[in-house]
A and B are shown apart, each in its own frame.
Chain A
Amino acid sequence: MYPTVAPWGEIIENNVIEDTVVSLLKEAVTSLPKDVLFALKEAEKKERSEIARTQLRTILDNIDAADRLTVPMCQDTGIHVFFVSGRITPDLEEHIRAGTLRATNEIPLRPNAVHPLTRENPGTNVAEGLPHVVFHPSSVDYTEITVMPKGAGSENMTALAMLTPSQGVKGVKKFILDTVVSAAGKPCPPTILGIGIGGTADEAMALSKKALLRPLDQKNADSSVAELESDLYEALNLTGIGPMGLGGDTTTLGVNIEIAYCHTASLPVAVNLQCWAGRRATARIYPNGRVEYLTRGGSE
């Protein structure tokens, strides 16, 4: 559907955003981004444990079947986190909510959103606070939307520590290692680690989720942070937790760290775990209504 232009010159995007959200959710739950798929395939090649290789092969076969049949790769289609950047229009969030509702019925997605206290389930995945939408406005002319469906198995293993500055980098490393070891097989490893260091407590948590958006083949631009990523990656894969906690060389597919300056008396560290189904899909919507799908390539 193409946009129409209002008499005062403002472009009305009709259902372009809503349609794009449905397409992105469908893409995200039925196929994995190239970098995650590549990491899983590489892991299978390098894995020495036979049980672990069976787990990785099963994961890859399952991804293949989901892609071929266009059905969700995991029954936990998550709750939906949207990252929106660039040009932000006032009713953007409403369109995202409408798109999420449609996707829940059309794909279908499992209705996962419940009231936190009564556990009542409206069956729509759209309710107070959900989907979670994070905005980063900038002066470009397009709107970029990324959706990340996040399952509970891995999200439940999230950890935050408010370390003291004297605990330093060693304290940061120890906390991350302890978090992964105590999570063991529960977050459905091999996992991807999103880590936020610094900021306020909530900023560290937000950074840890934002870190999961970065493709696995990109390191942090700051070389000292990139080195910490590599060291953690190596150390965590030596633990032997392995795929599904059944033992093996593949415990994590990647470690992504984002940092922010923090109070001189603080050292917040947040770890957000992502299961092997590192699902995300991104599209750009241009003012003329053209939609460019960045994770799968091509435009409509």
Chain B
Amino acid sequence: MNTPLSHEGIKNLKLGDTVYLSGTIFIARDEAHLRALKFYEESKELPVDFNGGVIFHCGPIVRKEDKKILAAGPTTSARMNSMEPKFIELSGIKGIIGKGGMSKDTVEAMKKFGCVYFAFTGGAAVLAAKGLENVKDVFWLDLGMPEALWVVEANDFGPLVVAIDAYGNSIYDEVSKNVGKNIIDSKRILGLE
């Protein structure tokens, strides 16, 4: 798929679909979220247009000399839970890439404003860097390399798994329900109950 994502495009994505993304992706984690929200609050103009965009929860290792991304695995998305619903509403992003899934509130916001969550394999930093080689721009470097807002050109970045769709369905909820059932077998093997 190509970014920016369209409303129709994400409506067709189903849980478990594998996707490769090409086009502009914004790397933004804790501090970049905080600052973007502050900009919205103060009605200041943001340095990028997030509308229809995809953000990646990641703190990359970027080589200073040529701004080449060396390692860029996903970070734990749950840390952005308190900020993401507001950010989805105000920024108009249509996709989030991360690991571990997000809170109920965030899933609700994704459903309401139209956004999907893509899981990328934790720790697969070399493959991620390969798909995100070209840095187009960087803003807010005063936040530090991992926390800055990086604008990168993705080239078949993936495999990404659709883990939360635009209808409020979540693989993490499904897995959690299954684990609740499966644990009976686990306990039987261990002689518990």
Q: Are B76 and A186 in contact (CB under 8 A)?
A: yes
Of the residues B16, B71, B119, contact of A75 by C-beta under 8 Å = B71
Verify if A145 is at the interface (C-beta below 8 Å from B). Answer: no
Q: Mark A57-78, 1 if CB is under 8 A from B, else 0.
A: 0110110011001011111100
Q: Are B174 and A275 in contact (CB under 8 A)?
A: no
Q: Are A277 and B123 in contact (CB under 8 A)?
A: yes
B161 to chain A, nearest CB (A): 6
Of the candidate stretches A14-22, A177-185, A212-220, A265-273, the one touching chain B is: A177-185
Highest count of chain A CB atoms <10 Å: which of B16, B73, B179, B192: B179
A179 to chain B, nearest CB (A): 13
Of the candidate stretches B24-32, B105-113, B180-188, the one touching chain A is: B180-188
Say yes or no: A235-B186 contact (C-beta < 8 A), given A173-B192, A246-B163: yes
Say yes or no: A74-B186 contact (C-beta < 8 A), given A185-B172, A244-B119, A247-B175: no
Give the complex CA separation of A110 and B36 in angstroms: 26
Highest count of chain B CB atoms <10 Å: which of A61, A170, A185, A242: A185
Of the residues B122, B123, B190, contact of A232 by C-beta under 8 Å = B190
Of the candidate stretches B5-13, B125-133, B148-156, the one touching chain A is: B125-133
Q: Are B123 and A65 in contact (CB under 8 A)?
A: no
Q: Are B175 and A242 in contact (CB under 8 A)?
A: yes
Contacts of B189 in A (CB 8 A): 231, 234-235, 238
Verify if B176 is at the interface (C-beta below 8 Å from A). Answer: yes
Verify if B2 is at the interface (C-beta below 8 Å from A). Answer: no
Interface positions of B from 134 to 193, Cβ below 8 Å from A: 159, 161, 163, 171-172, 174-176, 178-179, 182-183, 185-187, 189-192
Verify if A45 is at the interface (C-beta below 8 Å from B). Answer: no
Give the complex CA separation of A275 and B100 in angstroms: 14
Q: Are B175 and A245 in contact (CB under 8 A)?
A: yes
Verify if B96 is at the interface (C-beta below 8 Å from A). Answer: no
A44 to chain B, nearest CB (A): 13
Q: Are A185 and B127 in contact (CB under 8 A)?
A: no
Of the residues B121, B176, B178, contact of A59 by C-beta under 8 Å = B121
Contacts of A55 in B (CB 8 A): 121, 161
Q: Are B175 and A74 in contact (CB under 8 A)?
A: no
Q: Are B123 and A76 in contact (CB under 8 A)?
A: yes
Verify if B70 is at the interface (C-beta below 8 Å from A). Answer: yes
Give the complex CA separation of A205 and B28 in angstroms: 36
Highest count of chain A CB atoms <10 Å: which of B76, B125, B130, B191: B125
Interface positions of A from 52 to 110, Cβ below 8 Å from B: 54-55, 58-59, 61-62, 65-66, 69, 71-76, 108, 110
Give the complex CA separation of A110 and B63 in angstroms: 12
Interface positions of A from 235 to 252, Cβ below 8 Å from B: 235-236, 238-247
Q: Are A58 and B127 in contact (CB under 8 A)?
A: yes
Verify if B124 is at the interface (C-beta below 8 Å from A). Answer: yes
B133 to chain A, nearest CB (A): 13
Q: Are A184 and B176 in contact (CB under 8 A)?
A: yes
Say yes or no: A71-B70 contact (C-beta < 8 A), given A51-B16, A240-B175: yes
* Complex A-B: 13 CB contacts under 8 Å: A50-B16, A74-B73, A108-B61, A174-B190, A177-B183, A181-B179, A185-B175, A231-B190, A238-B185, A244-B121, A245-B100, A246-B163, A247-B175
5 closest cross-chain pairs (CB), A and B:
A75-B71, A188-B122, A62-B124, A235-B186, A74-B123
